[in-house]
Structure 1
């Protein structure tokens, strides 16, 4: 059982207030003990935006800020926005819209620059980037890595974290070396949709029992997420919004109290400089 003093953070989910559950998903999360959310903007084309420049991502980001504010009103803690460009956009631009890989890179790097502006102004917490988790040709792969490197450069300038969408792996030390080369330390790089064991970035572990046990037993910094996508065509995908609170309760019942504190207090503070305990206390005394 989750007590009133335990923060519960879902590190990566999407909310769609216009086409699917939106705030109802947040209420489900909160009813089971969830207190904090990192809300990542949905892929731009899912919101009807076919970007031709970095500026075209602005309505996607603005809509995300609106749903984050509404989510915070429902939580005993709060929500934060993570803004950026889904790496799968490069395939849409190249394969479906006829751009070259270099042209697609420029558009996506423009989106990263805009996301960084929101971080710099204090309106967003972190940047999202990455590279395709599926096979692509060399030009697209190189362009995708260039987009990711730009995200590292801007995050280093701002001393903020980058959430990565990338291929499944247990060793991404090369990627964190690229980040370190431009001044972004490895603890500011998060691998979204990770397993329980990962070298390099901080793993954001999907809310399934087996990888969570691996992460808990390792004792290294980790986060928990659902990657809930709030898609009317795929209800519950990837995992439903109730999953993280349920898994936190299970971890506590199983004796993993230290792992819960690691994932929901210590690692968020290390990666994002956020205080999940302090924001929880303030919301309850206001």
Structure 2
């Protein structure tokens, strides 16, 4: 199989319609063989300001939905928004004078709004998590409460949730929290994952070594770049052409099954999307 015969999905990429490359990044992804994107809204303070109310969350989400509509016009497949609240917002809010409990409530409101965007149609899933850096106990507990609220929303709405968390391989407790709230752990996706993970579904950063580990583990996985679309940090974390390049590399190494796992089977199992049915041929016609 060659890359023209398979969907190629980047599971976690940011577009910045205010300050970034936006459409140019999507064009680069498509030119190298990419077909589908899950586009995460950037932290609110990168687009407007640190969100402290519902209207700011809506403004950020609407900007991302618009960017996704532009991306879909370019891609041979399509893009979907994944909307939510970056866990670092808790620190911004506390620095601005809010208590951890007040910050928790604001962030849970943001997740409520994100869930509304999923139930009303434009978004596919939501995003939550907890800080990947050291925080005090009150902030940590507030962050876990926000994340657990996200699990409740995802369970109620029957959709997936992506997580931004600290690094590590054992997130069995987090998966249990989701299941206690009625959400299947397969619908919990740890973004920026390595090739080995216990608990949620792993979204593996498109690093060759980590992908090889993921293949050895022989479990469902997704692939991502976590492209940030920041003109001051071009190519961070990985550039938009990286996932297509890694798919070519995998196919050259006869890892066709792994490519199908990451770009067809796992997206369908986690999000309920059909990357084959939503793929048009490179000539613009439905396959």
Unaligned stretches of 5+ residues in structure 2? none
Q: Which range moved further: 177-186 or 1-10?
A: 1-10
Tell me whether 1:169 sits opposite 2:168 in the alignment: yes
Tell me whether 1:106 sits opposite 2:105 in the alignment: yes
Structure-2 residue corresponding to 1:284: 285
Q: Is the 8 A contact 1:49 1:57 kept in 2?
A: no
Q: Is the 8 A contact 2:26 2:74 kept in 1?
A: yes
Q: C-alpha displacement at 1:217, in angstroms?
A: 1.6
Tell me whether 1:39 sits opposite 2:39 in the alignment: yes
Q: C-alpha displacement at 1:168, in angstroms?
A: 0.6
Q: C-alpha displacement at 1:132, in angstroms?
A: 0.3
Mapped to 1, the partners of 2:65 and 2:266 lie a distance apart of: 24
SS at match of 2:51: coil
Q: C-alpha displacement at 1:52, in angstroms?
A: 2.0
RMSD (CA atoms): 1.2
Q: C-alpha displacement at 1:284, in angstroms?
A: 2.8
Mapped to 2, the partners of 1:165 and 1:3 lie a distance apart of: 29
Q: C-alpha displacement at 1:4, in angstroms?
A: 2.4
Q: C-alpha displacement at 1:42, in angstroms?
A: 0.4
Spell out structure 1 runs of 4+ moving beyond 3 A: none
Q: C-alpha displacement at 1:151, in angstroms?
A: 0.5
Equivalences for residues 179-190 of structure 1 within 5 A: 179-190=178-189
Q: C-alpha displacement at 1:129, in angstroms?
A: 0.2
Mapped to 2, the partners of 1:264 and 1:3 lie a distance apart of: 11
Q: Is the 8 A contact 1:55 1:110 kept in 2?
A: no
Tell me whether 1:241 sits opposite 2:240 in the alignment: yes
Mapped to 1, the partners of 2:51 and 2:78 lie a distance apart of: 30
Tell me whether 1:135 sits opposite 2:134 in the alignment: yes
Structure-2 residue corresponding to 1:55: 55
Q: Is the 8 A contact 1:54 1:113 kept in 2?
A: no
- Residue by residue over 1:28-85, the C-alpha shift from the partner in whole angstroms, topping out at 9 and shown as x without a partner, is 0000100000000000010122322233200100000000000000000000000000
Mapped to 2, the partners of 1:88 and 1:3 lie a distance apart of: 37
Unaligned stretches of 5+ residues in structure 1? none
SS at match of 1:151: helix
Q: Is the 8 A contact 1:134 1:167 kept in 2?
A: yes
Structure-2 residue corresponding to 1:200: 199
